Structure 1
Amino acid sequence: MKKIIGVGAVVCLLSACTTLDPYSGDEKVSNTAKGSGIGAAAGAVLGAAVSSKKDRGKGAVIGALVGGAVGGGIGYNMDQQEALLRQELQNTGVQVERIGDSIRLIMPGNITFALNSDQIAQNFYPVLDSVVKVLVKFNNTELTVDGFTDSSGSFEYNQKLSERRASQVGGYLVASGVEQLRVNIRGFGERYPIASNDTASGRAANRRVEINIIGQRPK
């Protein structure tokens, strides 16, 4: 019974950490802590399963600690990366969204490309340079660069335009030092709108490039 309580205490300690949201001021469980809690629980089960009956309690505690460290490492990396991206991209017009162990950068078309063009706007290169700086620092992630358009024009034209825009952004990341094997380029044309195409503001929102940073375990 004491060993079960000990494992529970480890899991609770690893998952109880909270952080203060700098935007809302609310206290929240950090992604590091979430990862630690999940990893600890999984590690405890595995540690108990592979241990002898006599040492099962000890195996569960050790497994919880190891699992918590691994899970926390993933969350910690993404927490640090998110904070740095928010700092670098403040007031640039790029939205930073955190989704579990992934980060999405939403780059509106009005600051990335001229209308119907696949040439990156000159004043957007410094923004991309800021993104590159973070991606090179945290190099254990995979990236998808996704292009989107509004519904104006033909489906075929929009599809190819979205592909060219994603390719331009992805190509710049690689040329600036991001490892090519990390970068996947996709075009979705007018699919997956985030606003109504019935209004000018909605169409402007739908014309965008997104960079999705997908977390991996540290090497």
Structure 2
Amino acid sequence: MKKLGNLTVAAAAIALLAGCTNNPYTGEREAGKAGVYGGIGAVSGALIGAATSSKKDRTKGALIGAAVGGAAGGGYGYYVDTQEAKLRQTLQGTGVQVQRTGDQLTLIMPGNITFASNSADISSSFYPTLNSLVKVFKEFDKNGIAITGHTDSTGSQQLNQDLSNRRAQSVADYLAGNGVPSARISAYGAAASQPIASNDTAAGRAQNRRVEIDLQPL
């Protein structure tokens, strides 16, 4: 059992080291998300491999399980790492924010760069950014694309609901019209129900007027 534990830890360490990268801000070596997922997969795989093997083959089973589990665990983590890096590079200087929570990537597109006031017509200046997103979404095709329109609290609930619906649908239609499979895309309006800042100030209301795209595993 002790030997198995040592092998499991070693497998996890190898997976973590394989996923290590240099932090671009501090220069320090650190485990990337793929390495973390790989370590978790290696541990799980080792335990399962040992449990499903005969007593004399437990060491071999643990090593095989660790290798398979590490590859599977690190696979999607590496995929998201790569997609995140591509999106940050592509969207640099556009005003679109890229946020990551676990395996979910969120793109926050401020209303002042996407639509004219009280309009669901995409601003012509935003087309190049959307065209760049189309290329990334075609390259990375393992994500569902959930588009949500948001407004501030100014105006009636019905007006804001309608506007947020139409803005989300405008973005969805543009992506689908340029070759992103519509089966991957969903769109809806949240009106003013999900503020990210106070609606009591002009600056806060400006932040709340936005379209978000959530990228999650299909």
Output aligned runs, 1:61-72, within 5 Å: 61-72=63-74
**Gap change, CA 1:26 and 1:206, over 3 Å in 2:** farther
Relative to structure 1, the CA distance from residue 86 to residue 43 in structure 2 (aligned partners, 3 Å threshold; closer, same or farther) is same
| Counterpart residue identity of residue 139, structure 1 | D
> In structure 1, what is the Cα distance between the partners aligned to 2:144 and 2:56?
42
Q: How many corresponding residue pairs?
A: 216
CA contact (8 A) 2:115 2:121 kept: yes
The range that moved more, 16-25 or 123-132, is 16-25
User: Per the alignment, in what secondary structure is the counterpart of residue 88 of structure 1?
Assistant: helix
| Of 200-209 and 34-43, the range deviating more from structure 2 | 34-43
Per the alignment, residue 217 of structure 2 pairs with 215
Offset of residue 49 of structure 1: 2.5
The letter of the residue matching 1:22 is: P
The residue identity in structure 2 corresponding to 1:149 is: T
Match of 1:88 in 2: 90
Question: Partner residue of 2:7?
Answer: 6
Matches within 5 A, 1:131-210: 131-210=133-212
Pair 19,53 (structure 1): closer, same or farther in 2 beyond 3 Å: same
Q: Aligned to 1:56, which of 49, 58, 64?
A: 58
For 2:112 and 2:30, locate their aligned partners in 1 and report how far apart those are by CA, in whole Å.
34
| Residue-by-residue CA offset, 1:160-201 (whole Å, 9 max, x unaligned) | 211111111011111111111111112111011011101111
- Counterpart Cα distance in 1 of 2:30 and 2:162: 42
Deviations 1:144-174 (Å, cap 9, x if unpaired)?
1111000001112111211111111011111
1:38 — aligned with what?
A: 40
Q: What SS is found at the alignment partner of 1:54? A: helix
User: Is the CA contact (8 Å cut-off) linking 1:3 and 1:58 kept in structure 2?
Assistant: no
Using a 3 Å threshold, how does the CA distance of structure 1 residues 26 and 205 change in structure 2: closer, same or farther? farther
Q: Distance in 2 between matches of 1:206 and 1:60?
A: 51
Paired letter, 1:180:
S
Report the CA distance between 1:44 and its aligned residue: 1.8
Do the aligned residues in 1 keep the contact of 2:7 with 2:62 (CA within 8 Å)? no
What's the offset of the Cα at 1:27? 4.5
Question: 2:37 is matched by which residue type in structure 1?
Answer: G
Unaligned runs of 5+ in 2: none
Give the root-mean-square deviation of aligned CA atoms.
1.5
**Given the superposition, is the C-alpha separation of residues 25 and 152 from structure 1 closer, same or farther in structure 2, using an over 3 Å criterion?**
farther
- Indicate conservation of the 8 Å contact 2:11/2:43, yes or no: no
Deviation at 1:50, TM superposition (A): 2.0
**Distance apart, 1:20 and its partner CA:** 2.7
Identify which of 15, 18, 21 aligns with 1:19.
Answer: 21
